A and B are shown apart, each in its own frame.
Chain A
Amino acid sequence: MRFFRQVWVVAAKDLRAEFRTKEAINASFAFALVILLMFSFAFDLPVETTREISGGLLWIVFAFAGTLVLNRSFARELPNDCLDALIAAPISGAALFLGKALANYVLVLAVELVSLPVFSIFNNVSVTAQFWELMLVLALGTWGLTVIGTIFSALTVNIRLREVMLPMLTYPILVPALMGAMQLTSALVAGKPIGADNEAWLKMLIGFDVVYTAVSLVLVETVLVG
C-alpha cells in the first residue's frame, strides 16, 4: 500500500508542476496540431485512403508529440538539483519511476485525446466506428510509449545531446508496439472489429507493455543511482 501511495505522490507532484507551468503539454499539443496540419495539406487524399493510413498518421503524431512530454519528464528535475533530492528521498526507484510514468501517461493521453477529434475534423474521417476498442488500443499503445519514454528519459537526462538521443533510442525499441497500434488503429477506424486476423497485434501490444514495464521496474534503480 505504501508503495502505491508513494507512486501517487510522485505522479501528483509531476502533474501539479505541469498544470501550473503547462510547458510540456502546451508544446506537445501545439506540435501535434502542426504535424496534423502538415499531413492534411501534404497528402490531399480521398477519405477512404485517409482511413486506411489513419493508424500510421495518428501514431506518428502521438510518438513525436509524446517525445516532447517525455523529454521534459526528468529534465524538469535538473534545475536546483531536484533530481538528486528525489533520488535521495526515502522511496524506491521503482516508485519514483512508476509515479513519473503515470504522470506522463496522463499528459500524453490528454494530448492524444485532443488530437484525435482534430484529426477527425481535418480529414473528414469518423473515428467513432469502434470507439471503445480504439480507446483500448490507445490506452495500451500509450502505456508502451510512456514506459519506454520514461525509462529512457531517466537514462538520457545527464548525457550529451539529450534531445536527440531520446528519440533515437526509443523509436527503434517502440517499433513492435507502434506497428501493432498502427495496424489495429487503421482497422478500427475503418470500422473492422479486432478479429482473428489482427488479434496477434493486440497480444503483441499487451506483451510489449508487460515485458517492458517489468524490465524497466527492475532496471530503474540502476539507471537512477548508477
Chain B
Amino acid sequence: MINKILYVLGIAALAILVWNIYTIARLPEETRQGEVFKIIFFHVPMAITAMICAAVSLVASVLFLLTRNFKFDALAVAVTEVGLAFLAGNLITGSIWGREIWGIWWAWDARLTSALVCWLLYAGYLMLRRAIEEPTQRATFAAVFSIFAFIDVPIVIFSIKWWRTQHPQPVFWAGGSFPPDWTTHFLWNMLAMALLGAVMMSVRLRQEEAQRELDSLRRMAHAL
C-alpha cells in the first residue's frame, strides 16, 4: 500500500516538475539578467528543501539520542542523503548562474563558502557512519555529529545579512523585486521539489529499515 502511495506521489512530483519547466520556459526574459534568471525557480527551492532536510535530520538525531529508537536514526540518514543531493543541485545551479552573471564559476563569499562547508559537513556525516561498524555506536556518534553539523545551517541562512556578499539578497519578501505573478510559478516549483524530496526520503527510509531488519536476521542466524 505504502509502495503505491509513494509511486503516485513520485509521479505527481515529476509531473508538476515537468509542467513547471514547460511554463517557466515560456515566461518572458528578465530585463537585466535575461534567460538565466529563471534558474532561481530551481536554485532557491533546492536550497530551501536542503535546509528543511537539515532541520529534520537535527530533530531526528536529537530524538534518537533521547529515545534510542533506531527509526529516528534511519530517518536521519535518509533525510541527510536527500538533503545532500538537493544542496549539490543548489550549488551547481548557483555556479552556472554565477558563470553567466559574474563571469566566474565560484566566488569565496560568506554564503557560497558556508553552503559548501555545509555540504562537506553532511558528507562527513555519511563518511563517519561508514567508519563505524557497531550499529548503536554508529547511530549515537552520527547523531552527535549531525547536531554539530547543523550549527552551520543558520550561518548559511543568515550569511547574506551578516556579511556583504556577492550572493544577491532575497528578492521575494520585504520590498523584494520578484514579480508577484511569478511567485505562483515559484511556489509550484517549491512544492514539486519538496514533494520529490519527501518521496526520495521515504524510499531511502524503507531501504534503511529493511537493511536493519536484514542485519538483525543475520545476527540471529549467526547466534543459532
Interface residues of A (CB under 8 A from B): 151, 155, 158-161, 165, 168-169, 172-173, 175-176, 179, 200, 204, 211-212, 215, 219, 222-223, 226
Contact = CB atoms under 8 A, between A and B. Distances in A.
Contacts, number: 59
A168 B124 contact: yes
B145 A169 contact: yes
B174 to A, nearest CB: 21
Contact of A160 (B113, B117, B131, B141): B131
B22 to A, nearest CB: 39
Contact of B155 (A176, A200, A215, A223): A176
A215 B127 contact: no
A155 B148 CA distance: 12
Contacts of A200: 162-163
B132 A212 contact: no
A222 B65 contact: yes
> Which of A161, A212, A226 counts the most chain B CB atoms within 10 A?
A226
A175 B147 CA distance: 16
A169 B128 contact: yes
B202 interface: no
Contact of A155 (B120, B136, B144, B163): B144
Contacts of B144: 155, 219, 222-223
A222 B140 CA distance: 8
Contact of B152 (A151, A173, A215, A223): A173
Interface residues of B, number: 26
15 contacts: A155-B141, A155-B144, A168-B127, A169-B128, A172-B124, A173-B121, A173-B149, A175-B113, A175-B117, A176-B155, A204-B162, A212-B151, A215-B147, A215-B148, A215-B151
Q: What 5 pairs between A and B have smallest CB-CB spacing? A: A172-B120, A175-B117, A160-B131, A172-B121, A159-B131
A222 B162 CA distance: 33
B121 A161 contact: no
B93 interface: no
B149 A176 contact: no
B137 interface: yes
Contacts of B152: 173, 176
B100 to A, nearest CB: 27
A165 B128 contact: yes
B80 to A, nearest CB: 14
Contacts of B114: 175-176
Contact of B151 (A155, A204, A211): A211
Contacts of A168: 124, 127
A121 to B, nearest CB: 30
A212 B163 CA distance: 21
Nearest to A158: B137
Interface in B103-130: 113-114, 117, 120-121, 124, 127-128
A222 B148 CA distance: 13
A218 to B, nearest CB: 9
Contacts of A176: 114, 117, 152, 155
B132 A160 contact: yes
Given A173-B151, A175-B113, A176-B152, 10 more contacts: A155-B145, A158-B137, A159-B132, A169-B128, A172-B120, A173-B149, A176-B155, A211-B151, A219-B144, A219-B147
> Which of B128, B132, B144 counts the most chain A CB atoms within 10 A?
B144
Contacts of B140: 222-223, 226
A173 B128 contact: no
B144 to A, nearest CB: 5
Contacts of A161: 131
A223 B148 CA distance: 12
Contacts of B133: 160
B157 to A, nearest CB: 14
Contact of A226 (B113, B128, B136, B148): B136
A24 to B, nearest CB: 23
Nearest to A203: B162
